[in-house]
Structure 1
């Protein structure tokens, strides 16, 4: 069982997948930082200075007693965080699309080059041509 596990782990696909997951996680952090640090503040600024993650629709406001203590909590639909996560996802998906497009373009060029004719086929062609003479 241990030897089978070693064989499984040492396969190229598993190692490639592990590297892809690690790089993908790091890339996700980069895009999240971009969205949180640049995109969302710009959207918040354009919407009047309110942070996008604070956007919400209040169904029932919080109720306070005479002393200012909260008696009933606010009931709100917090759609701002969802909006921010959607933008995060769209940016990550777009950048991955661009990387895959470039990757496929590189591999398509490599595949377009015609493969070299095997030696046995060349030899058979020579024999055929010499028999025709």
Structure 2
């Protein structure tokens, strides 16, 4: 998937209101931050949304996680680490690839919340 395509979709996803099950916000030393919210049904991710800083690379990485996670079981890793996300999203300059770690950490925070909440366990 290309960074440009993810960005185009991500700009729309980012504007949607958060869902009820919301993970903790992850903030990097750079000041960039991201947070995911999820809709869970039958132990699977029915919907996934994010809020993040106005950084096109971070928006693209967050959207790539949304694209990959919908329909997956809660708690199943959609990427093993930030390196895998960097590999999946093509066209990101090396100097900006550190944003993948922010997106992955925020996604994991939301999945942790889903695994430990009543809503996420149903």
The answer, yes or no, to whether TM exceeds 0.5 is: no
Name the one with the larger strand percent: 2
Q: TM-score, normalised by structure 1?
A: 0.27
- Taking CA–CA contacts closer than 8 Å with sequence separation of 6 or more, which of the two structures ends up with the larger relative contact order? 2
Larger radius of gyration, structure 1 or 2? 1
Name the one with the larger helix percent: 1
Q: TM-score, normalised by structure 2?
A: 0.29
